[in-house]
């Protein structure tokens, strides 16, 4: 069956809210926490930073990132506290307000800010003991969790997007960089993909564009995985 963006996104969302403890819903706990703070600066304040670190660490664990290949299992909560502080101190201020559609309407600026944000993430090494492997999957999952305008470029997402690109005769890479988000934003606009209308379970917060894109292509990938 050809790719149907809305059907795929809705199928994922139903799974996400379809039981009492759905694994897919782990993203929402981090997202609702950060949105409730009002800004990443407040989330990284001394009174909130440990809770933010716990949310981020649990989200990454729940989404399969605390594995030996990343080296994250060799860290503890203090690593995530320091990482949150590092993001707060080094991210470009304008990055937090950057929206997905700006990769289409204000392309050069959006690409520059996004690539700067990726560089900030990978510049945190956590010391000699950590030596984190900053894969594109890990980076994009962090960005989906803390910013929301970028899908998590993991195995099933890649399968889904690759199949869609093949169906459409497109040649689009899937790198975690601003150029890819620009191409994705143009595809979303050209195809009128519905990037709104999805809400979190507890606080009924509107999903950001990157999360909706993630749901659609991830679910398509799961359906067609070998």
Angle of the 178-191 helix axis to the 209-224 helix axis, nearest 10? 80
pTM for the model = 0.95
Residue-wise pLDDT for 53-102, tens only, equals: 999 999 999 999 988 778 888 889 999 999 999 999 999 999 999 999 99
The domain spans of the chain are: 5-224
Distances (CA, A) of 94 to 40, 111, 153: 12, 12, 23
Cβ atoms within 10 Å, residue 35: 16
Residue 1 pLDDT level (bands cut at 50, 70, 90) = confident
Cβ atoms within 10 Å, residue 225: 11
Cβ atoms within 10 Å, residue 192: 8
Q: Name the burial class of residue 53, with classes exposed (0-12), middle (13-18) and buried (19+) by CB atoms within 10 angstroms of its CB.
A: buried
For residues 130, 146, 212, 187, the Cα torsion angle rounded to the nearest 10 degrees is -80
Cβ atoms within 10 Å, residue 11: 17
- On average, the pLDDT of the chain sits at 94
CB 134 within 8 A of CB 71: no
Instruction: Say whether pLDDT at 22 is over 90.
Output: no
Provide the token pair at 145.
């969790």
Residue-wise pLDDT for 148-206, tens only, equals: 999 999 999 999 999 999 999 998 888 999 999 999 999 999 999 999 999 999 999 99
């Amino acid at each position: 069956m050809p790719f149907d963006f809305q059907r795929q996104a809705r199928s994922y969302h139903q799974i996400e809210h379809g039981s009492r403890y759905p694994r897919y819903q782990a993203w929402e706990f981090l997202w609702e926490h950060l949105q409730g703070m009002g800004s990443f600066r407040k989330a990284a304040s001394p009174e909130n930073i440990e809770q933010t670190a716990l949310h981020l660490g649990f989200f990454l664990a729940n989404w399969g990132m605390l594995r030996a290949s990343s080296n994250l299992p060799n860290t503890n909560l203090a690593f995530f506290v320091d990482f949150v502080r590092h993001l707060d101190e080094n991210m470009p201020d304008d990055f937090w307000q950057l929206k997905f559609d700006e990769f289409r309407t204000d392309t050069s600026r959006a690409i520059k800010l996004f690539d700067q944000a990726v560089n900030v993430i990978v510049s945190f090494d956590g010391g000699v003991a950590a030596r984190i492997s900053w894969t594109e999957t890990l980076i994009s999952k962090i960005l989906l969790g803390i910013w929301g305008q970028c899908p998590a470029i993991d195995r099933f997402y890649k399968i889904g997007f690759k199949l869609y690109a093949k169906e459409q005769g497109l040649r689009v890479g899937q790198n975690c960089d601003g150029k890819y988000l620009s191409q994705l934003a143009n595809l979303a606009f050209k195809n009128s993909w519905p990037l709104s209308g999805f809400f979190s379970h507890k606080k009924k917060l509107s999903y950001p564009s990157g999360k909706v894109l993630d749901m659609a292509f991830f679910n398509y990938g799961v359906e067609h995985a070998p």
